[in-house]
């Protein structure tokens, strides 16, 4: 009887442990619920959305607007450009670094004030410096949004203070964040916790409002936002093992938890495959009418592919001529590798000439006589 009882207890323990393991597996396999009214989790390399909730709903986004403002500023200005504060930017409502009329700052300093201190006056100072007018700057923002495929977005100002017709979607905000993160200075700014900036009048210290920089391992930005009308908005980005995820929540009472759980879900759900290594493709091909018989061709870029679920079958197609005609310069793209996952094209990598091949010009009859 005692042995039977022990066996029953052992079986119950095994079943309990199995049930717990299954529960953990199931809970990790499904996306968490979030407090946000709208949300999106985006992987920019594959341009895929891992999670969405009301991702196309038009909503005000508060200071996450400043991601586009920063992107425009980085594209229109040099970081060392000196900007004199327009009187119209002084005394802007909401968060501010209290700029003074005529005060001079570098564009880079204003970017730190914009993205760390969420300074509305810095946003207007940049807008006036670039476009001379808030409405004209908003037109510039909207044009850039359309170029990025963010077609459900409309900007009315550079800071995100409540305004009729000023809205975006979680989907569009992810695309805008992804484009901004391609810029190295933007990455540097939004991943900074504290920064001292200096103007012609004074020094200031701005502190990043994004708590995820300290709360979440691998967080590299991006921007918080809040107004009473819009609620709490947040765009975050995190990087692990070479993979970057961008998370967006709009009107999220519990945004820090939302982002932590969504980013965890994303990193648990995806896999990265090294489809092509740098220099993996290498050929030596003949060159006609040249000072050399052959030139070396290779790929200078690697290619990684992010996927979910089972690993796809990767194939490739090399597009190169059988020979080349001079002249060819080292660094010229002379072909390409087309990459496929389960038969669907996923990318193209250029094939580059590693050497110069000068053209040999035939001498005329008269040149041959002398």
Confidence label for 242 from pLDDT (cuts 50, 70 and 90): confident
pLDDT digits (tens, 9 = 90+) for 11-21: 555 555 444 44
The pLDDT of residue 243 is above 80: yes
Last residue of a domain, one of 227, 243, 270: 270
56 and 144 inside one domain: yes
Asked if residue 50 and residue 96 are part of one domain, the reply reads yes
CB burial of residue 365 (10 Å; 0-12, 13-18, 19+): exposed
Using one digit for the tens of pLDDT, what is the confidence trace for 77-90?
Answer: 999 999 999 999 99
| 254 and 285 co-located in one domain | no
Clarify whether residues 120 and 223 are in a common domain: yes
Please report where in the chains the tokens 């991006």 appear, as a residue.
222
Answer yes or no: is pLDDT of 298 > 90. Answer: yes
Q: Does residue 153 share a domain with residue 283? A: no
State what percent of residues in the chain have pLDDT above 90.
Answer: 83
Same domain, 201 and 316: no
Residues 342 and 231 in one domain: no
The pLDDT of residue 45 is: 86
- Look at 10 and 212; give whichever has higher pLDDT: 212
Per-residue pLDDT, 19: 47
Q: Which of 46, 53, 66, 233 is catalytic?
A: 66
> Residue 95's domain is classified under what CATH number?
3.40.710.10
pLDDT digits (tens, 9 = 90+) for 147-183: 999 999 999 999 999 999 999 999 999 999 999 999 9
pLDDT bracket for residue 47 (50, 70, 90): confident
State the pLDDT confidence band at 367, using cuts at 50, 70 and 90: low
Residue 5: per-residue pLDDT = 63
Same domain? 254 vs 113: yes
Identify whether 131 is a catalytic site residue.
no
What average pLDDT does the segment 270-286 reach? 94
Q: Does residue 156 carry a catalytic annotation?
A: no
Do 227 and 302 reside in the same domain of the chain? no
Query: What is the pLDDT confidence band of residue 214, given thresholds at 50, 70 and 90?
Result: very high
Q: Which two tokens stand for residue 176?
A: 């805008």
Closest to 250 measured CA to CA, from 211, 268, 223, 220: 223
- The answer to whether residue 310 scores a pLDDT higher than 80 is yes
Q: Categorize the per-residue pLDDT at 28 as very low, low, confident or very high, splitting at 50, 70 and 90.
A: very low
pLDDT of residue 296: 96
User: Which pLDDT does position 80 carry in this prediction?
Assistant: 98
Q: Looking at the 3D structure of the chain, how many domains does it have?
A: 2
Distance separating alpha carbons of residues 262 and 266, to the nearest angstrom = 6
353 forms bridges with which residues in the sheet? 297
List the domain range (segments joined by +) for residue 205: 33-270
The enclosing H or E element of 317 equals strand 314-319
Same-domain status, 243 and 332: no
Whether 178 maps to a domain, the answer reads yes
Q: Which residue has the higher pLDDT, 139 or 31?
A: 139
Catalytic-residue membership of 46: no
Cα 175–chain centre separation: 8
Nearest partner of 153 among 13, 45, 55, 81, judged by Cα: 55
From 251, 270, 289, the end of a domain falls on 270
* Contact criterion met (CB below 8 Å) for 233 and 193: no
Secondary structure letter of residue 156 according to DSSP: S
- Whether the pLDDT of residue 370 is over 90: the answer is no
Catalytic member of 95, 106, 109, 118: 118
pLDDT score recorded for residue 220: 98
CB-based burial of residue 329 (10 Å sphere; 0-12 exposed, 13-18 middle, 19+ buried)? exposed
Question: Is 7 contained in some domain?
Answer: no
Report in angstroms the alpha-carbon separations of 54 from 12, 39, 148, 230: 43, 7, 20, 15
C-beta separation of 264 from 302 below 8 A: no
> How confident is the model over 174-203, as a mean pLDDT?
98
- How does pLDDT run across 100-128, given as a tens digit for each residue? 999 999 999 999 999 999 999 999 999 99
Catalytic residue, candidates 46, 63, 106, 236: 63
Q: What is the mean pLDDT of residues 51-71?
A: 98
pLDDT of residue 362: 65
The phi and psi torsions of 33 (rounded to 5 degrees) equal: -80, 150
Domain assignment of residue 238, yes or no: yes
**Residue carrying the six token digits 């089972």:** 310
My answer on whether 226 and 106 are in the same domain is yes
Same domain for 256 and 288: no
């Amino acid at each position: 009887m005692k042995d039977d009882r022990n066996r029953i207890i052992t079986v119950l323990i095994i079943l309990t442990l199995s049930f717990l393991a299954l529960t953990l597996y199931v809970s990790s396999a499904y996306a968490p619920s979030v407090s946000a009214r709208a949300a999106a989790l985006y992987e920019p390399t594959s341009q895929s959305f891992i999670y969405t909730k009301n991702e196309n709903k038009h909503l005000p986004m508060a200071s996450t607007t400043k991601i586009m403002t920063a992107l425009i500023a980085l594209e229109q200005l040099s970081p060392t450009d000196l900007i004199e504060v327009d009187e119209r930017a002084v005394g802007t409502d909401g968060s501010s670094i209290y700029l003074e009329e005529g005060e001079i700052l570098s564009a880079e300093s204003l970017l730190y004030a914009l993205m760390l201190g969420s300074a509305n006056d810095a946003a207007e100072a940049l807008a006036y410096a670039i476009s001379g007018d808030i409405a004209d700057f908003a037109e510039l923002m909207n044009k850039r949004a359309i170029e990025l495929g963010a077609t459900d977005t409309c900007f009315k100002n550079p800071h995100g203070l409540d305004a009729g017709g000023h809205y975006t979607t979680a989907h569009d905000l992810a695309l805008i964040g992804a484009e901004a993160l391609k810029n190295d200075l933007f990455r540097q700014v939004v991943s900074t916790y504290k920064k001292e900036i200096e103007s012609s009048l004074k020094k200031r210290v701005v502190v990043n409002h994004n708590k995820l920089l300290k709360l979440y391992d691998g967080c590299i930005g991006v921007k918080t936002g809040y107004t009473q009308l819009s609620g709490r908005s947040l765009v975050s980005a995190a990087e692990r093992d070479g993979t970057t995820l961008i998370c967006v929540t709009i009107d999220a009472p519990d945004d820090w938890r939302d982002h932590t759980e969504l980013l965890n879900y994303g990193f648990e759900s995806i896999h990265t495959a090294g489809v092509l290594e740098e220099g993996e493709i290498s050929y030596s091909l003949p060159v006609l009418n040249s000072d050399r018989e052959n030139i070396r061709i290779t790929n200078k870029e690697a290619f990684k592919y992010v996927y979910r679920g089972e690993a796809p079958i990767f194939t490739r197609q090399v597009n190169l001529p059988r020979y080349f005609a001079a002249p060819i310069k080292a660094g010229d793209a002379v072909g390409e590798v087309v990459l496929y996952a389960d038969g669907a094209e996923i990318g193209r990598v250029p094939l580059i000439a590693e050497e110069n091949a000068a053209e040999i010009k035939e001498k005329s009859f008269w040149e041959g006589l002398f």
